[in-house]
């Protein structure tokens, strides 16, 4: 599959891109700055023999992609997404975005829509097939590509075929997918990432994750 | 320890009481209706040889308890807690309360304070030592007391000795505790329970739980 990663030069985007390139997908790394995207793509590509990884502007990446992944900071959604509304139309858009505020009173700070995924859905319009997923897969764990990621892939959204595609993308990097319902549950999934971020800080880890038991 | 469970006639309160009675703690089951509390206490006590389980009004239970556990519905906090403010003063108060709204558009519906735990803290006042915990330990799993609960105990709060006591209470029923920071993270923990409730419904389970990996 041809996977376009918006804001893909950050740690989460680069980690996901690395795992997907290893799985044989074509990875397009997007950035506001196409030069930066190309440099990061070259780095990722150089580490994986036979990898298909390239870089371009966010808009060019979305236009060329079969599936779009948002890995921008939550504060960047309002600036980044409006120009992507038309190219995202009809496409599966995976939001990995988590609205965290470090150093304030409260770590998890969702927008009025309830979650970053619902904010993205609002900006991109109803024809973007938004799925919330991958937030809680630690970037550090993704980049340590010598071993499988020890975490379940929790995902939510209103479009069943879109969720099936995300389930496949997870399976291609060895993750078990767990469907946690509609996009109105995205806030709970994003909040879980705040929990894992706190655990990482408190226990001096970089890669805490979760597994669902009883399943 | 003498554990007072406010609203303890419900499934979660009864399940927790059963596990703690099995671990040798004295369990006080509270209810608005002391008769109902005594009946439920007799039921739990009859199942466990040597158990110390009794029932009384919520206020009497809190007065007698070393540690207080809130297992009332989220919608009951405003009605139940004001009369418990004085007897909760100085005590560890564990909030297991989760603001879920079934059948609406959004399952997790936290109050303006950010979480039920923070709402409880506001009503009980600063001298109640509120810890958020046990929300996500399935009642069904607690009641199936023939096997260990397959779930980590995530807890949060601003009072380190209070969290140490909750860690002990968890350990007494075989749970590994994971400290997830201050009470401002309680919304994220409560939201996680919405995720597990959705998983239970979607996968036809009664006892999904979570384990933190990488720890």
The reported pLDDT for the residue numbered B90 is 98
Provide mean pLDDT across the span B31-42.
Answer: 98
Chain A residue at shortest CA distance from B141: A214
| pLDDT for the residue numbered B148 | 87
CA distance to partner chain A, nearest, from residue B5 (Å):
26
**A138 vs B214: CB contact, 8 Å cut-off?**
yes
Condensed to tens digits (0 to 9), the pLDDT of residues B103-141 reads: 888 999 999 999 999 999 999 999 999 999 999 998 888
Tell me what pLDDT residue B144 has: 80
pLDDT-based confidence at residue B40 (cuts at 50, 70, 90): very high
- Cβ-Cβ contacts under 8 Å between A and B: the total is 115
- pLDDT for residue B145 is more than 80: no
Which pLDDT value is given to residue A156? Answer: 98
pLDDT score recorded for residue B19: 95
Q: Which of B108, B202, B209 sits opposite A213 (nearest CB)?
A: B209
Q: Partners of B67 in the beta sheet?
A: B3, B92
* Residue contact B212–A209, C-beta within 8 A: yes
User: What are the DSSP calls for A60-116, one per residue?
Assistant: HHHHH-SEEEE-S-GGGHHHHSGGGHHHHTTSEEEE----B-TTSS-SB---TTSSH
Among left, alpha and beta (phi > 0; psi -120 to 50; other), residue A181 is left
What are the distances in angstroms from CA B48 to CA A159, B5, B13?
Answer: 48, 18, 16
Chain B CB within 8 Å of residue A212 CB: yes
**Between chains, do A214 and B194 touch, taking CB under 8 Å as contact?**
no
DSSP letter assigned to residue A3: E
Rg of chain B taking only CA atoms, in angstroms:
16
Percent helix, percent strand, percent coil in chain A, to nearest 5 = 45, 20, 35
Cβ neighbours around A46 below 10 Å, total: 10
**If phi over 0 gives left and psi between -120 and 50 gives alpha, with beta otherwise, what is residue A157?**
left
Asked if the model's pLDDT at residue B72 lies above 80, the reply is yes
pLDDT band at B147 (very low <50, low <70, confident <90, very high): confident
Distance in angstroms (rounded) separating the CA atoms of residues A132 and A115:
9
Model confidence pLDDT, tens digit, residues B162-204:
999 999 999 999 999 999 999 999 999 999 999 999 999 999 9
> Is the ipTM above a cut-off of 0.90?
yes
Q: Please answer yes or no on whether B211 and A208 come within 8 Å at the CB atom.
A: no
B207 vs A151, A187, A214: nearest CB: A214
- 3-class DSSP assignment, residue A134: coil
Where chain A has pLDDT below 50, the residues are none
Per-residue model confidence (pLDDT) at position B143: 82
**Quick one: pLDDT at residue A55?**
98
């Amino acid at each position: 599959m041809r996977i376009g990663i918006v804001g893909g030069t950050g740690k989460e985007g680069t980690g996901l891109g690395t795992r997907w390139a290893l799985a044989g997908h074509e990875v397009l790394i997007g950035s506001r700055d196409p030069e930066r995207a190309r440099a990061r793509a070259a780095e990722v590509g150089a580490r994986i023999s036979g990898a298909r990884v390239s870089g371009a502007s966010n808009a060019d990446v979305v236009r060329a992609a079969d599936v779009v992944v948002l890995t921008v900071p939550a504060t960047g959604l309002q600036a980044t997404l409006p120009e992507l509304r038309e190219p995202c139309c009809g496409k599966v858009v995976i939001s990995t975005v988590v609205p965290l505020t470090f150093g304030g009173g409260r770590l998890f700070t969702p927008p009025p829509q309830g979650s970053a995924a619902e904010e993205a859905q609002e900006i991109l319009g109803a024809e973007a097939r938004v799925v919330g997923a991958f937030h809680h897969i630690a970037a550090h764990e993704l980049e340590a590509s010598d071993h499988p990621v020890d975490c379940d892939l929790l995902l939510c959204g209103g479009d069943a075929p879109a969720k099936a595609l995300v389930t496949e993308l997870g399976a291609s990097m060895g993750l078990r997918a767990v469907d946690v319902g509609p996009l109105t549950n995205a806030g709970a999934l994003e909040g879980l990432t705040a929990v894992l971020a706190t655990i990482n800080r408190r226990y001096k880890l970089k890669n805490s994750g979760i597994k669902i038991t009883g399943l």
